[in-house]
Structure 1
Amino acid sequence: MAAENSTTAPAREFQQHRDVLLAVAYRMLGRVADAEDVVQEAWLRWSAADTTAVRDARGYLVRTTTRLAIDRLRQVQARKETYVGPWLPEPFPTDLAAAPVPDGADRVVLAESVSLALLVVLESLSPLERAVFVLREAFGYPYTEIAAVLERAEPAVRQLAGRARRHVAERRPRFEVDPAQQRDLTERFLAAATAGDLEGLLAVLAPDARLVGDAGGKAKAPRRVIESARKVARFLAAIGPNEIPDVRWTFLELNGAPAVLVTSGGRPHTVMSVDVADGRIRTLYLMANPDKVAHLAP
């Protein structure tokens, strides 16, 4: 029995913190598969360690996961240099109303930190800046703990945090959005898009609306950002749903916001998500890379 307890106790403790570790890794990497790989590696290291000597299990695991994520981020950044077309984060299913909130974290801030708009901006940070921003802004870690995680002096960590915050503030649009309004706009957009209704699309799109498509060269999607409401509407009205066999549309919550999952023959085909400002759709994200939507299978 003692041998069983010594084996199961570390696994049980790791499982208690797994959601937080996955949340940190996903915000660092923007891809579910990479985040899960990092968490799995963290488990392997935890299971091989002398856990009886660890006083703060969550701190140890977050530190391990963050360092592994930094290493993985440096690897995937090289892959993105040869990526075909725009790159978007992999959509992540969320139920933020029911999700546990880690100690020191604010639910609203936590929700914002997983939004597609913010994750796109975080792609332009260095791995260290991104780690500091995620741990500080999303999870409320004090600078002293972040310094220990990164093995950097606290003044250096504060400088990284300042640079990251300024960079994000300059590039990230911030709008107060009513979730009910966002859902309503998403539904109206979907109705107009499926009907090929050009005027209906123009009614929900902001004049400077943008469409960002991510197919990675593996599916049909624009390889450049489409800008202006009329160009976006014309593109959407032209493609319509007729090109997709056995098409189905499902609403779900992705990255803390309403989104539409398009399936073909029961398999994920495309994900559409929107950013809303002043009662109109400002940005439409269209994710069609099969590698990035396969995990959303109904």
Structure 2
Amino acid sequence: MDDFERLRGRLFGIAYRMLGTATDAEEILQDAWVRWQGVDHATVRDHDAYLAKVVTNLSMKELTSARVLRETYLGEWLPEPVLTGRAEFDALGPLEVVAERESVSFALLLLLERLTPAERAAYVLHEAFAYGYREVAELIGTSEANARQLASRAGKRIAAGSRREQPVDRAGWQKLVERFLAAARLGEIEELEQLLAEDVVSTADGGGKVIAARNAIAGRDRVARYLIGTLQHFGAGIEAQLAEANGRPALVAVGPAGVVAICFVEAGPDGVSDLRVVMNPDKLAFAASQLSRIGRLPDLGW
């Protein structure tokens, strides 16, 4: 097997964690493959390190450009979801332990947006892929001391803005979400409010391509009314299916035209605390291509 194909999962994982978008990560891999084809492989001492360096540096460059575009993005920006949890959905490789799942969670990807490209690269390489600081320095082109400092600064910034995600009791999550969906569909606002935490926040990413709230909505009453209105407007012909995306349980909403939304529902002791809904069709294309490999939505079940 060619070294590039052998490393594809790791390379995609680096690019995706760096950029937060699967389609951009795929483009990075295409560029890296072209560069790999133009190199005399016999002159490359460490193929794995060379390819990781190419992908990391292409991602850092792309991230700098992407941030300029995100400043003019219509509405809230969310990462691009990737389906996980099945052998057919192997883009990110196995996510077998909590740390691996957390490294691709929406919560972390959003926190990574606060970092500089160099900080993000150092953090991703060290924390998600266990590269030593000397290796990180070589991959991003800096000194070992600076690589250590970048990763440390990134870790502190992430810790300051994060709350550790708890392991999900999937059976309990499923029961809660089923009650949540039923109440929203039936317009039972009091029942729905009882399932929401007082400080619940709902964030939707439509990218100006579909109707979605431009700003995050906070508070039990406001979120409940927004959800009921949204489901009444879009609910006809839409099927919501339990799935796993980015290492966490999620809902995939599918209509006659295909995937229309992927929703991450985070729950705590007081009920649903966070809703993150990706509706921008451009950001659903990768997940839709993953779904096409198994043919039909019901196969998504856990």
TM-score, L = length of structure 2 = 0.88
Give the structure 1 partner of residue 153 of structure 2: 163
1:65-104 equivalences in 2 (<5 Å): 65-95=55-85
Give the structure 1 partner of residue 241 of structure 2: 250
1:193-204 equivalences in 2 (<5 Å): 193-204=184-195
Q: Is the Cα–Cα contact under 8 Å of residues 245 and 265 in structure 1 kept in the other structure? A: no
Q: Is the Cα–Cα contact under 8 Å of residues 267 and 294 in structure 1 kept in the other structure? A: no
Report the CA distance between 1:242 and its aligned residue.
4.7
1:47-196 equivalences in 2 (<5 Å): 47-95=37-85, 107-180=97-170, 181-196=172-187
Report the CA distance between 1:280 and its aligned residue.
2.1
Give 1:243's aligned amino acid.
Answer: F
Identify which of structures 1 and 2 has the higher relative contact order when contacts are C-alpha pairs closer than 8 Å and 6+ apart: 2
Give 1:135's aligned amino acid.
Answer: L
Secondary structure of the residue aligned to 1:187 is helix
**1:280 equivalent in alignment to 2:271:** yes
Report the CA distance between 1:96 and its aligned residue.
7.4
Indicate how the Cα distance of structure 1 residues 219 and 107 shifts in structure 2: closer, same or farther if over 3 A, else same. Answer: same
Give the Cα separation in 1 of the matches to 2:92 and 2:106. Answer: 20
Give 2:141's aligned amino acid.
Answer: E
Give the Cα separation in 2 of the matches to 1:96 and 1:169. Answer: 30
Give the structure 2 partner of residue 5 of structure 1: none
Report the CA distance between 1:290 and its aligned residue.
1.3
Q: Is the Cα–Cα contact under 8 Å of residues 98 and 167 in structure 2 kept in the other structure? A: no
Q: Aligned residue pairs: how many?
A: 287
Give the Cα separation in 2 of the matches to 1:58 and 1:106. Answer: 23
1:209-265 CA distances to partner (integer Å, 9 max, x unpaired)?
Answer: 000111111111111110112211111112224534422222221111111111221
Give the Cα separation in 2 of the matches to 1:26 and 1:184. Answer: 31
Secondary structure of the residue aligned to 2:234 is coil
Report the CA distance between 1:63 and its aligned residue.
1.0
Give the structure 2 partner of residue 224 of structure 1: 215
Q: Which runs of 5+ in 2 are unaligned?
A: 292-302
Give the structure 2 partner of residue 215 of structure 1: 206
Indicate how the Cα distance of structure 1 residues 46 and 270 shifts in structure 2: closer, same or farther if over 3 A, else same. Answer: same
Give the Cα separation in 2 of the matches to 1:224 and 1:263. Answer: 24
Secondary structure of the residue aligned to 2:265 is strand
**1:17 equivalent in alignment to 2:7:** yes
Give the Cα separation in 1 of the matches to 2:92 and 2:24. Answer: 22
Q: Is the Cα–Cα contact under 8 Å of residues 252 and 262 in structure 2 kept in the other structure? A: yes
Give 2:41's aligned amino acid.
Answer: T
Give the structure 2 partner of residue 39 of structure 1: 29
Report the CA distance between 1:17 and its aligned residue.
0.5
Q: Is the Cα–Cα contact under 8 Å of residues 84 and 92 in structure 2 kept in the other structure? A: no
1:27-64 CA distances to partner (integer Å, 9 max, x unpaired)?
Answer: 00011110000011111111111112323222211111
Give the Cα separation in 2 of the matches to 1:170 and 1:186. Answer: 29
Q: Is the Cα–Cα contact under 8 Å of residues 13 and 91 in structure 2 kept in the other structure? A: no
Give the Cα separation in 2 of the matches to 1:241 and 1:18. Answer: 42
Instruction: Among all aligned residue pairs of Structure 1 and Structure 2, give the percentage whose two residues are the same amino acid.
Output: 38
TM-score, L = length of structure 1 = 0.89
Report the CA distance between 1:197 and its aligned residue.
2.4
Give the Cα separation in 2 of the matches to 1:285 and 1:23. Answer: 22
After superposition, the CA RMSD in angstroms is 2.3
Give the structure 1 partner of residue 260 of structure 2: 269
Q: Is the Cα–Cα contact under 8 Å of residues 106 and 139 in structure 1 kept in the other structure? A: no
Give the structure 1 partner of residue 297 of structure 2: none
Give the Cα separation in 2 of the matches to 1:215 and 1:18. Answer: 30
